[in-house]
Structure formats: structure tokens, C-alpha cells
Amino acid sequence: MSLEAHNISIAFGGLKVLKDVSVAVQPGVITGLVGPNGAGKTTLFNCLTGVAQPQQGVVRLDGEDISVYPLYRRIQLGVSRTFQTPRLDLDASVLDAVMMGFYSRNKPSLFGAAVSLPSRRRLERQLRAQAERLILQFELTADPYQRSGALSLGRLRLLEVARAIASSPKYLLLDEPAAGVDEHDRALLAKAIRRAAGDEIGVLLVEHNVGFIAELSDHMVAMVRGEIVAAGKPHDVVRDEQVVTAYLGGHRVAA
């Protein structure tokens, strides 16, 4: 059981962005993905989530080849992600934004004519209660009906993570969720990620805050110029010579 990229290669305009990259996200494991700008981290995310398709190699979800499946299909199968720039309807309430996560995973028939009106109302109440719990866990706002656009950038990132978790994913891919997030909210984020892993959700985390990702991850992968140069325990990866030179500017980080 895993979300796996196997021997993935992709090029744009002749430039190899990913070169024979293999990585696996395991249930209940937090995998950290680090690398300098241009290392190919986001492109790998896009291949795993259906935003891009690999030109070579295979993406598998629990053994099934999903290489050509679009983003929405992968969400339905249990692969959820966030983006570097939060993709949210800023005019929607915080509550509605979180509830969109529930709707994104469930089939339309669950809410359609095949379900009786009392059943739909009961389900709506249940989902609303779950969304309100997520809002409390992330301390997003005291008013669930507040407009999402009124939140700070840091809280918008947390809102997108809450929405992703609301989709009940098997695998959760987070692209720089702590960027612009203050220390208090980073602690909330870390707690939520650990809780997700504790629920046997596989987590793939990209983050430029090396201390944050090293402390949080069970396993770490480092990329440089489209290739994996190190993988293993975080304290070993952040001390790897290629990682120190290419990503950390020659300065070692405690982990």
C-alpha cells in the first residue's frame, strides 16, 4: 500500500526537470521532500496528483497505475494536495471552504436525488459538525461564517490544509504549507500533520523550513536538479554533503 512515483522523468523544452525519480509515500509515514528552487519538487507533486503527466515512468496508487488519471479522479481515490499559493474561493465562508473538502471526495449521488431529503439534511449536519471541529483544531476563526478572504495568508494556508484533510484522504501532499505561517500556527500545522499520520494517512511534505520539516518527518528525500541525491532519516539527510552544498549553502542544520 503506497502512493508511488516509479522512475519518473519529465522535460520542458528540452530541459530535464525530473530524471528517473522514484519515491513512495507510505500510510502513516510523514515523508519530507527538500531541495533548492528548481530541484523539481513541485513537478513531482504535480505528477503524483494529476496536474502533470510523466513522460516516462509510472505513478501507482496502492498498486493501480494512475499515471493518466486527472486531478479530480485522484482526489476521489484518496489523493489530496495543497498548493504553494492557496487555491480558495475568498468570497466563501470559512465553514463552506472546509466543507468543500468533504464534497470533493464524495460521489455526486451521495447528495443527489437518490438520497432522501431527511438523509441529506442529516448528512449535511454531520459534515457541518466535522467542519466546525476542523476550524477549532486549526484555530482558523471564532466565526465559521467569516469570509475566507478576511484571513491572513498564514491562516489561508491552514484553511487549505483543513480542507484537504476534510476530504478524508489516504495520502496528503502538502506543498510549502508553513510558508508565511507564524510560530504559533506552525505548531498547529505540525500537530495536524502528526494527527493525520496517526490516522494512517500517508503525508508528503515539501517545505523550505528545513528545521521544521526535519523535526516533523519520519523519512526525508532530498532533490537537486531533478534527481534524488539523498534519502533516509532526516538527521542523516540534512548532513549529506550534496544536500549541505546544494540546498543548505554549506551550513549544517541541527536535526
Is 252 exposed, middle or buried (CB count within 10 Å of its CB: 0-12, 13-18, 19+)?
Answer: exposed
Domain ranges of the chain: 1-78+169-186+194-255, 91-167
Which CATH superfamily, name and number, covers 1-78+169-186+194-255? P-loop containing nucleotide triphosphate hydrolases (3.40.50.300)
Residue 153 is classified by DSSP as H
Angle between helices 153-166 and 94-105 (to 10 degrees): 30
How confident is the prediction along the chain (255 residues), in pLDDT tens digits per residue?
999 999 999 999 889 999 999 999 999 999 999 998 889 999 999 999 999 999 999 999 999 999 999 999 999 999 999 988 888 999 999 999 999 998 876 655 455 555 567 777 888 889 999 999 999 999 999 999 999 999 998 899 999 999 999 999 999 999 999 988 899 999 999 999 999 999 999 999 998 888 899 999 999 999 999 999 999 999 999 999 988 887 656 555 544
